[in-house]
Amino acid sequence: MVAALEDPTAGHVTIGDMPPSDLARRHRLGVAFQDHALLPWLTVRKNIELPFRIANRPVDDRYVDHLLDLVGLSDFDRARPKQLSGGMRQRASIARALVLQPDVLLLDEPFGALDQVTRRHLNIELQRIWSESKITTVLITHSVDEALFLSDRVVVLSGRPGRIVKVVPVPFGRPRTPTVMRDAVFHQLSDDLTESLEGYVGTAEA
Amino acid sequence: MTKPSRLASTVYGLVGLSLFIGIWQLVGAYELAGLTWPRFTTVISYLAEPSRWGLFSRALQATLWAMGVGYIVGGIAGFSLAVLSAVFQPLRPMTDTTSAVIHAIPAIAIAPLLIILLGSSVAPAALSALNVFFIMYVSTVAGLSATTPAHRDVFRVLGSSRFQQLCRLELPNALSSIVTGLRLAAPASMIGAIIGEWFGAPRGVGLLIVSAMQNFQIPLLWSAIVLATLTSAAAYGLFGLLERVIHSRFS
């Protein structure tokens, strides 16, 4: 609904004071899914440039370079998605989501299909990206630790029907390092959230 | 079973072809199928005789011309209609049915009609175009509608217009399927052209086949068939190469 891909059954969603579909039309949303959804016939660079072309804006080469550097793909800008590893594709997909400097970044389990090590690594990189450009981000995740590590506010959703179970503010300051995950408060919150999930699916908002 | 290597498939292919030619030669040599089945070598030497090259090349030129015109006209028509039906979705059932009906008409049944309608010199190209049209329509429609939901979602969230989605997502995505269609359409365009010529075109491989049959010129008949087969196979192989390049680039 936030991505304007589905309509709410009742009520309405506004971002700022605009419906999400207006934001989409003005090219002010960024999105990355579990499926990287890169275009297989384009190079990494061309994939990241795609939002500029859709928005009919001139490509800002320097910003694309900067993002490539940020997600660690500078040396792979001319590779095609199938030549990259899963983690690299996901990073390219996140760079594509960021390239128009959107008002809202929607991350729908972007690390879901990755192994633990890569996932941890990308979590840390995402922190770094946010420290450079503060973008309101809605992150959907099944990982309680990921939610706590990355977000300012965790919204726990129940599965079918999806209802908000609870909203938990996360007290840790930024920038966060993985040492946060060893904090006693982190473990306490993690246990609480896991309990409230009881098999439900979790959503986090950063 | 594992997929045979490229070398192995080439070898198997050649063995199959040699077997085919060998049996052809034997049947001809021992007249197992009567006098109307010449030896393979008889047909090849008939084809290779320089004094007949003029005849063959005139016929082949006419057929290739009809094929080419039919291929281009039918291809553009099929492709355009497919794109049109992708852009205006409500049109889709209509274009689907129309193409299917056109395809359902046997070429041999519509050929006399086309000759009366367009004249015998245009009929081969027209029949060829009809054959190509359907293949290109189906392969383009299939390619255009084969985009993944994730890709479509990305385009929607990024605020893409319908036209941009067509140009930047659906058409590049359809290219593999379109090229496969182009390959399949090559022999189909030849079949159309030959059937068109069959009904009295001024020249062409089809005409050569009919007149050879009616005048009981057995080696000429077989030569014309071999010529048609070689041309068709060459066109198919040429587009097969193009297909390989496109497939490795676009998927």
pLDDT in tens, A57-81: 898 889 899 888 888 888 988 899 9
pLDDT-based confidence at residue A164 (cuts at 50, 70, 90): confident
- C-alpha span between A39 and A93 (Å, rounded): 10
Length of chain A in residues, anyone? 206
> Which pLDDT belongs to residue B19?
95
Are both A60 and A147 inside the same structural domain? no
φ and ψ of B97, to 5 deg: -65, -45
Residue A76 lies in a domain: yes
Residue A2 lies in a domain: no
Residues of A with CB under 8 A from a CB of B: 3-5, 24-31, 33, 35, 37, 39-41, 50-51, 53-55, 100, 106
Touching check for B162 and chain A: CB below 8 Å?
A: no
Helix (H, G, I), strand (E, B) or coil at B234: helix
The least confident of A2-16, A81-95, B57-71 is A2-16
**Angle at Cα B144 formed by Cα B84 and Cα B249, nearest 5°?**
130
Are both A146 and A189 inside the same structural domain? yes
Helix (H, G, I), strand (E, B) or coil at B191: helix
The arrangement of strands across the sheet holding A104-108 comes to A29-32, A104-108, A136-140, A202-205, A153-157, A164-169
How confident is the model over A129-146, as a mean pLDDT? 80
DSSP class of residue A83? G
Are both A95 and A150 inside the same structural domain? no
Between residues A48 and A27, the one the model is more confident about: A48
Are both A166 and A202 inside the same structural domain? yes
Residue A8 lies in a domain: no
Task: Choose one of A106, A140, A174: the last residue of a domain.
Answer: A140
> Which pLDDT belongs to residue B143?
93
- C-alpha span between B105 and B111 (Å, rounded): 10
Question: Whole-model pTM?
Answer: 0.81
Q: Which of B157, B172, B251 sits opposite A31 (nearest CB)?
A: B157
Are both A160 and A103 inside the same structural domain? no
| Element spanning B2, H or E | none
> Which pLDDT belongs to residue A39?
92
Q: Which two structure tokens, joined as six digits, stand for B80? A: 């355009």
Are both A136 and A178 inside the same structural domain? no
> Which pLDDT belongs to residue B2?
60
Q: Which residue has the tokens 């030669």?
A: B25
How confident is the model over A159-169, as a mean pLDDT? 75
Q: Tell me, what's the ipTM?
A: 0.81
Q: Which of B153, B164, B172 sits opposite A5 (nearest CB)?
A: B153
Q: How far is A54 from chain B (nearest CA, A)?
A: 5
Are both A158 and A87 inside the same structural domain? no
Are both A196 and A114 inside the same structural domain? no
Cβ-based neighbour number of residue B238 at 10 Å: 13
Residue A51 lies in a domain: yes
Task: Choose one of A140, A165, A186: the last residue of a domain.
Answer: A140
> Which pLDDT belongs to residue B172?
92
Residue A180 lies in a domain: yes
Are both A82 and A45 inside the same structural domain? yes
Res. A205: pLDDT tops 60? no
Are both A175 and A88 inside the same structural domain? no
- C-alpha span between A11 and A139 (Å, rounded): 22
Between residues A146 and A50, the one the model is more confident about: A50
Counted domains in chain A = 2
Residue A6 lies in a domain: no
Say if residues A71 and B191 touch (Cβ distance below 8 Å).
no
Q: Which of B158, B169, B175 sits opposite A51 (nearest CB)?
A: B158
Are both A135 and A186 inside the same structural domain? no
Q: How far is A148 from chain B (nearest CA, A)?
A: 27
> Which pLDDT belongs to residue A198?
67
Are both A152 and A135 inside the same structural domain? no
Task: Choose one of A140, A167, A187: the last residue of a domain.
Answer: A140
pLDDT-based confidence at residue B124 (cuts at 50, 70, 90): very high
Residue A176 lies in a domain: yes
Q: Which residues of A touch B160 (CB under 8 A)?
A: 54
Helix (H, G, I), strand (E, B) or coil at A171: coil
How buried is B89 (Cβ within 10 angstroms: 0-12 exposed, 13-18 middle, 19+ buried)? Answer: exposed
Residue A21 lies in a domain: no
Instruction: Give the β-pairing of A29-32 and A104-108.
Output: parallel
- C-alpha span between A156 and B78 (Å, rounded): 52
Q: The domain containing residue A44 runs over which residues?
A: 27-140
**Which of B147, B148, B156, B158 to substitute to test the interface with A, most A CBs within 10 Å?**
B158
Touching check for B147 and chain A: CB below 8 Å?
A: no
